[in-house]
Every structure is written in structure tokens, then in C-alpha cells.
């Protein structure tokens, strides 16, 4: 079916129509590594869905479709599984730590659920209940060793897993080892960890192997002397600068010890000059720190986990009054860039990242950028800035200035009002709409969902369609008039377009279906409202009734 000229791809009607067409096309498609069909008329176990999503991710990404028979010829039978779809999606994201999309399609023959999992990160298969799952016919099975080896090899050699031949356990700080033990026990609740010798603890954590101490152990637990002898570049330098003027920093401190021994000290230095910004929320004054602790720690963890330790450079953390710069040697890993980093992770030093995950400092090896982005949006600050990143370094700037307190209050309230669980992609859409930016294609489904919840809208028509925060945002900041003006200006332009069309066709007039093609961005109810307004203004008139009804200019009276 051809699309009307200038059709709005984000309109509810167009979205629903495309979704139904997609399901119909799948009825004749092959069930392969990217598509799985399940009848699931009444129910589908959540744990099984988690494993299927993991298997799809491990096999390159794909969708599981519920409510469609899996045997050819397929047909839509509908499903009542997972009635609280947003809750299901949130549960999948929590279990898998992947961006999972979930869509309920109102097909003429029944409700169809489409759960879509992205491809796993490069070199990182997804595990559920201790196994890496894949599909084999109608069943789920553990991935074979050869397939796992192939996936692990994608990331290339892991420098942090290599053994430093001249290092011994004596090169590791006993205090750091005990800190690691305590954190790992708090994370796992495994009492055995408390009784192990330091050597066995480190072997179980894969920081020490049969051939000796790994570079990961040195980075996380090493003494100052050991790092000076074996890995002098594994240092982080903090600078505070009160101005942009060149010259020595106001304060400088160098950290060349195991990461577990200094990461709290680094935050303490930053927090010493961490100003609080204030805004009024009703009767209360809200304080927001210029630098969010969680975002800063994630940025530092990413630098330590992903930097190139073969490079002789150090990590630099530079604090200014309203921004924080973190620069680490080595560009992004292959296949990663600022556009996809919240979707796709590839830890350059997997052994370091895995050890940090064991002691609870990161949730999963390679994750963390999403938390930085979400925190910045929630606090009304600019997104992390990677402008100065190149092939030799990753540079991220965290800007601390709050841009629009009203937007922050809006984000706080919608969660309470809607009881919805919002994820990173929801916040990215809110941020783009607030800044009046276009919605990229991969975020269009998220925009549609938020529009259906009444949180965002579209104004304009055709290629000129623009996103707009919902009326409740403007009402919450006492600027309902701004919303009315923006929406009203858009209506005025739309009404002029309708009048111009009626001028062009003359006395013959146009049925409402034809006028809908002129302004496809407007719903049928919006179109009727604008036509009635033009009629009250005596600019147009309705001639005839029912199927013969035609709209014409008020001066264009058709002859009998």
C-alpha cells in the first residue's frame, strides 16, 4: 500500500498500520536465527523469555513473537501473556542488562507481542543462570565451547589478562586484597570467600593464574613500587584548575597504586570543590551537586577499564568550576563510537572489568556509559561530551551546569504520575524533544510509546513534523500559554493550508477524506475541529450531506 504524500511516520495510524503489515509479512517468513514464533495463547514463563532473549542476543539479535503459531502455515491466534508490558520490559533489562524493546500489536486476529533483543556486545556472550544459551530447533541449549571461543576471540587479546612475568603476590597490597575480598563477599554473599587465603582468593578471581600475577592484579591491587617497576603508565593524575589560564594547576595529585586504594580519595578531592546549585520546587529548595558522584565514578571506571595500557600515557582527571574532563590513552575499541556506546560495549581490558564487576563497582563488564547519560538528563545537564576523542585518546567532559530546572521537575513528576519505568532511551527522547531536536530512526519506536502515554506530541506536517513535550510539562512550570501559542501557531498554518487547497480546486469542493491527505499530521478529530473553526470564521462552508458532503470556500457556491 503506498503512503500518502508527506505522511507523518510518527502518527498513531501510520504506526499501527505498519506494525500489522509487519506481522502479516512474518507469517510467510522463515523461522531463523533472527526470528522465533511462539503460540503462547494464555501465558509464557518469564524465565523462559529471559533465556530466549539471551539466545537471540548471542546469535546476533532478533525477535520472539508471541501470539503466532510456529508451524507453517502460520496464523495469528493472539496472546494474553505479559499484560503489563512495561513491567516485563523493565524485568528483561534488569536481568540481561541489554536494551530490550517490547511492542504489543493490535492485529485484527488478536494481540501480538514482539520482544526484540539486540546483538550481544562484541566478544561478550550473554549468560543466564550460569549458561550461555543458544537455540537448537524448538529447544534452548548451552552454547558449544567452539562457539564461545569464537565469540571471545572477537575482542582480540586482553592485555590485562596477560601475566607480568617479574611480578609476584608480594607486589600486591595486602590492604587492597582485603578490600577486594570484602567487596566480593558483600556482592556474592558467599561465606567461602572470607575463609580463603589471599592466593586462593586471587586465583578464583582470575587475577592470579598458574603462571603468575596478571596485569589486571597490578592495576587494581598493586603497590606503588610494583607499578613503578612493571607498569608505570598505570597512573591517574588529578588536577584542579580555577580558571582556563595556562600554567600550573591549583592542585595536583598523582595516583600510582592499585585502583581500589585510591578511587575514594579521587572522589573526595572532586567533592571538596563540588558546588551545590539550587532551584525552587514548590515550597522546597532543591540542592543539586554540580558533579554527580555516580556519573563521575562511572567515567573514571570506564577510563581504568578501557584505556590502552600498552600506551605510555596516564589518565588525566581535570576539574574546573563547572566541568570535569577525563582523558584516557587509546581511542574507542573497534566498532564503538559516541553514537552507539550506550548500545554496544566492548571492554578493552576484560579481566579488569570482570574483577570490578565481582566487587560490585560495575554491574557488568563494559557497562556504565548508559548510567552517565541517564544521570545527566535527569539532572538537566548537557550529555557527556566526547568531542575531543580521537584515535589516540578518549576524552569525556561532564558539564555540571543545570540548564532548565523546570525540565528536571518534569522528569521527576512523570514517573510518579504514570507509575511507568523509564529507561535510558526514554530519557534520551525526552532530552531531544526538550531541546527541539529531531528524533533519530532508532529512537522512533520509543517516541511513539511516550506519545501514546501522553508525554510527548508532534506538531507540524510532513517533513516539517516536530516533537513537542506534552501540555502537562508547560502546565507544571506555569507556562501553559507557551504551549497554546506553539500549538496555536501550528494550527493557524494548517488552517491556511486547508484554505489554499480549497481555493485551488474551486467550486467543486473537497470531501473530508481529501482534506485529510492535505494535512496528514493532524488526526481526524483535529481536522474536524479546524474545519469548524474556519466555518465559524465564515471562510469555508459545508455543502451537501453524508457521502455527498463537500467543503468549499464560503464564496464558492456550487451550481445545481
Ordered alpha helix ranges (H), 453-479: 471-476
Contact, 238 vs 266, CB < 8 A?
yes
Over residues 527-545, mean pLDDT: 89
Over residues 363-383, mean pLDDT: 78
Three-class SS state of 135: strand
Cα 530 versus chain centre, distance: 38
> What is this structure's pTM?
0.65
Q: How far apart are alpha carbons 197 and 503 in whole angstroms?
A: 89
Kindly tell me the sign of the dihedral angle through the C-alpha atoms of 210, 211, 214, 217.
positive
Instruction: Quickly state the pLDDT bin for 344 (edges 50, 70, 90).
Output: low
Contact, 102 vs 85, CB < 8 A?
yes
| Among 57, 59, 56, 58, residue whose Cα is nearest residue 36 | 56
Asked if pLDDT for residue 62 goes beyond 80, the answer is: yes
The domain 481-553 is placed in CATH, from the list 3.65.10.10, 1.10.10.10, 3.90.660.10, 1.10.10.1400, at: 1.10.10.10
Q: How far apart are alpha carbons 384 and 369 in whole angstroms?
A: 9
CB atoms near residue 166 (< 10 Å): 11
Indicate the DSSP class of residue 554.
Answer: T
Map grid coordinates 592485555 to a residue: 159
What topology is assigned to 12-153 in CATH?
Answer: 3.30.950
CATH 3.30.950.30 segments of the chain: 12-153
Instruction: Quickly state the pLDDT bin for 465 (edges 50, 70, 90).
Output: low
Three-class SS state of 28: coil
Kindly tell me the sign of the dihedral angle through the C-alpha atoms of 181, 182, 186, 191.
positive
CATH 1.10.10.10 segments of the chain: 481-553
More confident residue, 222 or 312: 222
pLDDT in tens, 271-326: 999 999 887 766 778 888 999 999 999 999 999 998 999 888 999 999 999 999 99
What topology is assigned to 405-478 in CATH?
Answer: Arc Repressor Mutant, subunit A (1.10.10)
pLDDT of residue 525: 77
With pLDDT > 90 as the criterion, what percentage of the chain qualifies? Answer: 43
More confident residue, 49 or 418: 49
Lowest mean pLDDT among 120-134, 170-184, 488-502: 488-502
Over residues 166-186, mean pLDDT: 96
The region that residue 454 occupies, defined by phi over 0 for left and psi between -120 and 50 for alpha, beta otherwise, is left
- Determine whether 80 is exposed, middle or buried from the number of CB atoms within 10 Å of its CB (0-12, 13-18, 19+): middle
Lowest mean pLDDT among 29-33, 323-327, 499-503: 29-33
- Determine whether 451 is exposed, middle or buried from the number of CB atoms within 10 Å of its CB (0-12, 13-18, 19+): buried
Amino acid at each position: 500500500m503506498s503512503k500518502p504524500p508527506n505522511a507523518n511516520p510518527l502518527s498513531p495510524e501510520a504506526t499501527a498500520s505498519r506494525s500489522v503489515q509487519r506481522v502479516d509479512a512474518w507469517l510467510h517468513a522463515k523461522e531463523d536465527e533472527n526470528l522465533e514464533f511462539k503460540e503462547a495463547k494464555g501465558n509464557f514463563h518469564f524465565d523462559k523469555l529471559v533465556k530466549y532473549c539471551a539466545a537471540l542476543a548471542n546469535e546476533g539479535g532478533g525477535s520472539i513473537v508471541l501470539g503466532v503459531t510456529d508451524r507453517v502455515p502460520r496464523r495469528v491466534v493472539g496472546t494474553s501473556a505479559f499484560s503489563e508490558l512495561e513491567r516485563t520490559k523493565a524485568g528483561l533489562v534488569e536481568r540481561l542488562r541489554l536494551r530490550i524493546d517490547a511492542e504489543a500489536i493490535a492485529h485484527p486476529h488478536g494481540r501480538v507481542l514482539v520482544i526484540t533483543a539486540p546483538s550481544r556486545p562484541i566478544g561478550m556472550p550473554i549468560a543466564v543462570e550460569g549458561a550461555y544459551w543458544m537455540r537448537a530447533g524448538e529447544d534452548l541449549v548451552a552454547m558449544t565451547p567452539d562457539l564461545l571461543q569464537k565469540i571471545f576471540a572477537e575482542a582480540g587479546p586482553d592485555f590485562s589478562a596477560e601475566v607480568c612475568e617479574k611480578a609476584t603476590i608480594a607486589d600486591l597490597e595486602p590492604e587492597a586484597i582485603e578490600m577486594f575480598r570484602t567487596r566480593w563477599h558483600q556482592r556474592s554473599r558467599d561465606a567461602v570467600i572470607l575463609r580463603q587465603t589471599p592466593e586462593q582468593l586471587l586465583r578464583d578471581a582470575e587475577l592470579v593464574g598458574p603462571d603468575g600475577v596478571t596485569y589486571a592484579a597490578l592495576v587494581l591491587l598493586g603497590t606503588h613500587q610494583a607499578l613503578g617497576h612493571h607498569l608505570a603508565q598505570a597512573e591517574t593524575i588529578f588536577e584542579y584548575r580555577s580558571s582556563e589560564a595556562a600554567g600550573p594547576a591549583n592542585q595536583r595529585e598523582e595516583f600510582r597504586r592499585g585502583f581500589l586504594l585510591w578511587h575514594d580519595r579521587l572522589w573526595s578531592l572532586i567533592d571538596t570543590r563540588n558546588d551545590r546549585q539550587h532551584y525552587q520546587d514548590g515550597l522546597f529548595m532543591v540542592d543539586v551537586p554540580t558533579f554527580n558522584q555516580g556519573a563521575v565514578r562511572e567515567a573514571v571506571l570506564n577510563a581504568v577499564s578501557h584505556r590502552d595500557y600498552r600506551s605510555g600515557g596516564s589518565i588525566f582527571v581535570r576539574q574546573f568550576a563547572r566541568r570535569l574532563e577525563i582523558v584516557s590513552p587509546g581511542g574507542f575499541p573497534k566498532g564503538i563510537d559516541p553514537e552507539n556506546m550506550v548500545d554496544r560495549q566492548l571492554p578493552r581490558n576484560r579481566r579488569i572489568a570482570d574483577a570490578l564487576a565481582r566487587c560490585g563497582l560495575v554491574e557488568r563488564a563494559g557497562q556504565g556509559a548508559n548510567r552517565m547519560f541517564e544521570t545527566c538528563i535527569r539532572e538537566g545537564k548537557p550529555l557527556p561530551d566526547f568531542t575531543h576523542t580521537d584515535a589516540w585518546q578518549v576524552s569525556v567532559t561532564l558539564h555540571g551546569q543545570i540548564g532548565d530546572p523546570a525540565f528536571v521537575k518534569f522528569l521527576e513528576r512523570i514517573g510518579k504520575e504514570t507509575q511507568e519505568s523509564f529507561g535510558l532511551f526514554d530519557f534520551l527522547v525526552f532530552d531531544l524533544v526538550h531541546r527541539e531536536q529531531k528524533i533519530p530512526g532508532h529512537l522512533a519506536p520509543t517516541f511513539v510509546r511516550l506519545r501514546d502515554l501522553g508525554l510527548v506530541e508532534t506538531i507540524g506536517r510532513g517533513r516539517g513534523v516536530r516533537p513537542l513535550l506534552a501540555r502537562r510539562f508547560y502546565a507544571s512550570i506555569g507556562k501553559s500559554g507557551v504551549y497554546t501559542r506553539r500549538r496555536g501557531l501550528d494550527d493557524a498554518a494548517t488552517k491556511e493550508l486547508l484554505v489554499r487547497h480549497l481555493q485551488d480546486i474551486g467550486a467543486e469542493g473537497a470531501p473530508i477524506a481529501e482534506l485529510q491527505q492535505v494535512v496528514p499530521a493532524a488526526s481526524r478529530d483535529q481536522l474536524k475541529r479546524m474545519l469548524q473553526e474556519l466555518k465559524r470564521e465564515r471562510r469555508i462552508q459545508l455543502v451537501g450531506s453524508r457521502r455527498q458532503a463537500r467543503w468549499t470556500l464560503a464564496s464558492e457556491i456550487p451550481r445545481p
